[in-house]
Amino acid sequence: MIEHLYQFTQTNDFTMEKVIDDEHVNINHIVVQPGGTVPVHVANSHVYQIVVRGTLSLSLEDGAAHQYPAGNVIAVPFNTKMAIRNEGSETLEFFVVKAPNPRDMPAVKKI
């Protein structure tokens, strides 16, 4: 078998799981209930957030929050502070693609 199969949890409960962590890429799957948040952090690689359900509220570098509904891909540069919330009434589900894998990137700034 040439291909590799990866699975992710299908749930409405809060979830932060690493789906792929190899020499090329790191892919995480995140589910956030209405009113929930992802801890504030700094992008440790070039980050692409793929919104598949709900609306992602994103604030970068303490700026104003912007809303991104399902069907959007948001690119966040390396070493950018970000705050992610689910301000909607629907469960938020998104994938985070980090390329290259963060283990191959320099250290990020402190927040």
pLDDT tens-place string over residues 71-87: 999 999 999 999 999 99
Predicted structure pTM score: 0.94
Domains of the chain with bracketed CATH: 20-102 (2.60.120.10)
From CA 41, how far away is CA 80, in angstroms rounded? 8
Distances in Å between the Cα of 45 and the Cα atoms of 2, 90, 92, 106 are 28, 28, 22, 9
**Residues 12-35, mean pLDDT to the nearest whole number:** 97
Q: What tens digit of pLDDT does each residue of 79-108 get?
A: 999 999 999 999 999 999 999 999 989 999
Structure tokens at 82: 């970000």
